[in-house]
Structure 1
Amino acid sequence: MSNKELAVSMNHEQIATLLASHAGLAQDYDHLKTRTDELQTQLDWFKRQLFGTKSERRVSPDESLQLTLGELQQAESETATEPTIKVPGHERRVGPINGNGDEGDLRFDDSVPVEQIILPSGIAADDLNDYEKIGEKKSRHLAQKPGSYFVREFIRSVYKKKAPADAIEDEIYCIPPPWTVLDRSFADVSLLAGLLIDKFRYHLPLYRQHQRMNACGVHVSRGSLTNWVHRTVELLVPVYEAQMKSILSSQVLAMDETPIKAGRKKKNPSGRSKMNTAYFWPLFGDQDEVAFHFAPTRSHSVVFELLDGYAGTLVTDGYEAYKQFAAKNAEVCHAACWVHTRRGFDKALVSDQDLADQALQQIANLYRVEEKIRHLAPEKLQAKRALHSKPIVEGFFEWLRKLQAEQALLPSSPFTKALAYALEREKALKVFLENPAVPLDTNHLERQIRPIAVGRKNWMFCWTEVGARYTGIAHSLLSTCILQGVDPFIYLVDVLQRVETHPAAKVEELTPRLWKEKFAADPIPDCLGSVGCQDGRD
Structure 2
Amino acid sequence: MEMSLESLSKEELIALINKEKQSYGEERIAELEEENAYLKSQLEMYKRMQFGQKRERFEGDPAQIALPFEAAVEQIAVQEEILKEKIGYVRKRPNHKGRAALPSHLPVEEIEIYPQGDLSEMVCIGKEVTEELDYEPARFLIKRYIRYKYAAKNGEGVKIGQLPERVIDRGIPSTGLLASILTDKYQDHLPLYRQKQRFAREDIRIASSTLEGWTKEALIKLEPLYEQLVFDMKSKGYWQVDESPIKVLESDKKGACHQGYYWVYHSPLDGMVLFDYQPTRGSAGAKTMLESFKGYLQTDGYAVYEKHGRRKDVVHLACWAHARREFERALENDKARAQIALSMIQKLYAVERKAKEQMLDADAIKELRLNESLPIINELGKWIFEQIKSTLPKSQIGKAMQYSYARWDALSAYLYDGNLLIDNNQIENAIRPLAIGRKNYLFAGSHDAAQRAAIIYSFFAICKKHNVNPYNWLKNTLQNIATINHKDIADLFPQNFSKGQ
TM-score, with length taken from structure 1: 0.70
Quickly say closer, same or farther: Cα 1:402–1:185, change in 2 above 3 A: same
Structure 2 residue 160 is the aligned partner of structure 1 residue 180 = no
Residues 121-169 of structure 1 deviation map (CA, whole Å, 9 limit, x = unaligned): 2x333xx345432222233333332332221122334668889xxxxx9
1:421 aligns with 2:415: no
Report if the CA contact (8 A) 2:102-2:133 is conserved.
Answer: no
- The 1-side partners of 2:306 and 2:272 are apart by 23
Code of the residue aligned with 2:450 in structure 1: it is: A
Q: Distance in 2 between matches of 1:467 and 1:334?
A: 33
State how far apart, in whole Å, the 2-side matches of 1:292 and 1:267 are: 26
Identify the residue that residue 383 of structure 2 maps to in structure 1. 399
Over the aligned positions, Cα root-mean-square deviation in angstroms equals 2.6
The structure-2 alpha-carbon separation of the partners of 1:341 and 1:146, relative to structure 1 and needing over 3 Å to count, comes to: same
Matching residue of 1:384: 368
1:139 aligns with 2:130: yes
Q: How far apart, in 1, do the equivalents of 2:139 and 2:333 lie?
A: 55
Rg comparison, structure with higher value? 2
For 2:299 and 2:477, locate their aligned partners in 1 and report how far apart those are by CA, in whole Å. 32
Match of 1:478 among 460, 467, 474: 460
CA offsets 1:38-94 (integer angstroms, 9 cap, x no match): xxxxxxxxxxxxxxxxxxxxxxxxxxxxxxxxxxxxxxxxxxxxxxxxxxxxxxxxx
Separation in structure 2 between the aligned mates of residue 342 and residue 470 of structure 1, nearest angstrom: 36
1:209 lines up with 2:200 in the alignment: no
Q: Is residue 2:349 matched to residue 1:367?
A: yes
Cα displacement (A) at 1:349: 1.5
Q: What residue is the counterpart of 1:304 in the other structure? A: 287
Cα distance in 1, alignment partners of residues 398 and 441 from structure 2:
39
Matches within 5 A, 1:410-489: 410-489=392-471
Aligned partners of 2:253, 2:326: CA distance in 1, in Å? 39
* Distance in structure 2 (CA, Å) of the matches to 1:207 and 1:337: 39
Question: Which AA in structure 2 matches 1:304?
Answer: K
1:350 alignment partner, SS class: coil
Structure 1 pair 115–299 and aligned structure 2 pair: CA distance change class (3 A): same
Cα distance 1:333–1:99, how it changes in 2: closer, same or farther (>3 A)? farther
Give the CA deviation at 1:389: 0.2
Secondary structure of the corresponding residue to residue 205 of structure 2: coil
Contact (CA 8 Å) 1:337, 1:442: kept in 2 or not?
yes
Match of 1:358 in 2: 340
Cα distance in 2 for residues equivalent to 1:289 and 1:411: 40
Aligned length: 406
User: What amino acid sits opposite 1:279 in the alignment?
Assistant: Y
Q: 1:161 to 1:252 in 2, by over 3 A?
A: closer
Q: Quote the residue 2:89 is aligned against.
A: none
Higher helix share: 2
Q: Hey, what does 1:259 align to over in structure 2?
A: 245
* CA deviation after TM superposition for structure 1 residue 384, in Å: 1.2
Question: In terms of mean alpha carbon deviation, does 314-323 or 103-112 score higher?
Answer: 103-112
**Is contact 2:275-2:457 (8 Å) kept?**
yes
Relative to structure 2, which stretch is displaced further, 388-397 or 455-464? Answer: 455-464
What letter corresponds to residue 265 of structure 1 in structure 2?
S
Counterpart of 2:385 in structure 1: which amino acid? R
Alignment partners' CA distance in 2, 1:384 and 1:191: 51
Q: Evaluate the alpha carbon distance shift between residue 355 and residue 262 of structure 1 in structure 2; reply closer, same or farther with a 3 A threshold.
A: same
2:49 is matched with which residue?
A: none
Matching of residue 233 in structure 1 with residue 215 in structure 2? no
What SS class does the counterpart of residue 257 from structure 1 fall into? strand
Alignment check: 8 A CA contact 1:242 1:508 kept: yes
The alpha-carbon deviation at position 242 of structure 1 amounts to 1.3
Aligned pair in 2 of structure 1 residues 478, 99: CA closer, same or farther (>3 Å)?
A: farther
Distance 2:347 2:329 in 1: 19
SS at match of 2:367: helix
Q: Which amino acid aligns with 1:344?
A: E
Pair 1:312–1:182, CA change in 2 (3 A): same
CA distance in 2, matches of 1:176, 1:303: 46
**CA contact under 8 A between 1:100 and 1:138: conserved in structure 2?**
no
The residue number in structure 2 matching 1:502 is 484
- Of 428-437 and 104-113, more deviation after overlay is shown by 104-113
Q: For the residues of structure 2 that align with 1:324 and 1:157, how far apart are their CA atoms?
A: 65
TM-score, normalising length: structure 2: 0.75
Q: What do residues 73-122 of structure 1 show as CA deviations (whole Å, max 9, x unaligned)?
A: xxxxxxxxxxxxxxxxxxxxxxxxx9899x9625333442333333452x
Match of 1:107 in 2: 101
Amino acid at match of 1:389: S
1:147·1:212 contact (CA, 8 Å) conserved in 2? no
Q: Structure 1: any 5+ residue segments left out of the alignment?
A: 1-97, 164-168, 524-538
Distance 1:150 1:308 in 2: 50
User: For residues 115 and 373 of structure 1, do their structure 2 counterparts lie closer, same or farther at Cα, with a shift above 3 Å needed?
Assistant: same
1:106, 1:140 within 8 Å by CA — same for their partners in 2? no
Question: Aligned in 2, Cα 1:350/1:177: closer, same or farther, shift over 3 Å?
Answer: same
